[in-house]
Amino acid sequence: MAEISPKILIPESFQLSSGDIAEQIGLIWKLIKAPLIVPLLNLGVYVCLAMSLMLFVERVYMGIVIILIKLFWKKPEKRYKFEPIQDDEELGGSNFPVVLVQIPMFNEREVYKISIGAACGLSWPSDRLVIQVLDDSTDPVIKQMVEQECRTWASKGINIVYQIRETRGGYKAGALKEGLKRSYVKNCEYVVIFDADFRPEPDFLRRSIPFLVHNPDIGLVQARWRFVNADECLLTRMQEMSLDYHFKVEQEVGSATYAFFGFNGTAGIWRIAAINEAGGWKDRTTVEDMDLAVRASLRGWKFVYLGGLQVKSELPSTFKAFRFQQHRWSCGPANLFRKMVWEIATNKKVKFWKKVYVIYSFFFVRKVIAHMVTFLFYCVVLPLTILIPEVEVPVWGAVYIPSIITILNSVGTPRSIHLLFYWILFENVMSLHRTKGTLIGLLEAGRVNEWVVTEKLGDTLKKQEAAKKANVKAPRKFCSRFKFADRLNILELGFAAFLFLCGCYDFVHGKNNYFVYLFLQAITFFITGIGYVGTII
């Protein structure tokens, strides 16, 4: 049987040259543009404008409340009963409660000495303090080093225990939960948690424990983070601006108005009874700290935030570590929101307005809307409206509202006001990863339970501090310490190309001059795409 030519199987209308194919694509585009593409993009604009207004109202509300707090609210020492615990030679340390200090660790070669030394230096009677080093390290050399450090402090009379597990199940939550099961913990009333890079001042417990001692309805006292490497590079400066707003505004407002805020996972003191009543540590999400805080709040426990009590800590100084951290911080809350929204809504112990605050403000606006509107509006929808001029974005939505939101977000770090514009561009880039993490959390997709421990570089920090003391200027360097191939981020490079093309189109055919923003945003995506995020400034 003779072979049948493939040509006779293809309709004659589809046997086209390359020029004809381009014409056909153009014709198809014209046919679907008006009835399909334009309405969908218009819908996207309306949805983004609605989310922008929600975020705008939230930021204005937070701004008004924080001003009222600064002007009229009493400080925590005045709002709650607070009396310093006095040393008594006759009673010894018996008038001090027994406090457990937990330090969870995982291969912390660079910072284990810093955190253990700071915990052992706390000003508290030695017989009323138990330090528990929860080491989940997989590197036997590091485990041996940490254990030896604990033995060294134990030989000096410090009550310190080196604790390991056979498996790393539950990650940090599993380690903390396992630590509370030990028999010697039964005598402890409170537990303070410090991540491996945190260095509390000696008076930390004396300034925080009295709130718990004299106020039986308080379950948590949270201190503020202070970043010792904020000036290391542009990347850390950007992080400082974002986190300062969280600590100076969001935590303050939550504490002063609803006595609720998310536990930051470290530099906080829990009443152990509150942990037990809330059901203990759970590892169902990657934000075990927020999970515990929400459950404890639903059972009536109050929280106090002490903005004046600061604990030194370290910011991620590599873009790779920062990306992993941001994935966990965006995916975890979204997943917790999915799991707990109905439980919060039907809870009978919490007042209606507190439930509205937790569901709408704390979770929906800050943990979902804030990430998604930044990425969808400024990196997707707005650039697409340039390619499709039939769809317009009102100036108030594209310029005025975002500008006010940005100004309100930046009030926490006035020293970095000159970096404001670059911070906006960088936040837009990070919104890509935060949106992806949020969607993964809401949908419980593949990486929902991914936990990557944030890399810490404590030895670098010590060298910088030594240089400052010696009045020697530290050498300029890049935060990222990887080979060029390891720095490449394809997703960012793809968006850089997309925004650059949109900018070129707007430069030639546009009328709103958005190309200035698009080119700058494309450059920022490109810089992060090749891994060179921040040099020393």
Active-site residue set: 136, 289
Q: 3-state SS string over 463-504?
A: HHHHHHHCCCCCCCCECCCCCHHHHCCHHHHHHHHHHHHHHH
Q: Which two tokens stand for residue 125?
A: 């009677």
Q: How does strand 129-135 pair with strand 160-164?
A: parallel
Tokens of 181: 């099961």
Which residue stretches of 80-226 are H helix?
A: 112-120, 140-154, 171-180, 204-214
Is 453 in a helix, a strand, or coil? Answer: coil
How many CA atoms, within 13 angstroms, populate the side-chain half-sphere of residue 254?
31
Cβ contact 323:370 at 8 Å: no
Per-residue tokens: 338: 């999915």
Please, are residues 173 and 145 in contact by the beta-carbon 8 Å criterion? no
Strands 129-135 and 99-105: parallel
- 3-class secondary-structure state, position 233: coil
Between CA 176 and CA 291 the distance in angstroms is 14
CA dist., res. 464 & res. 460, Å (int): 6
Tell me the two tokens of residue 386. Answer: 């340039």
Structure-token pair, residue 400: 């005025």
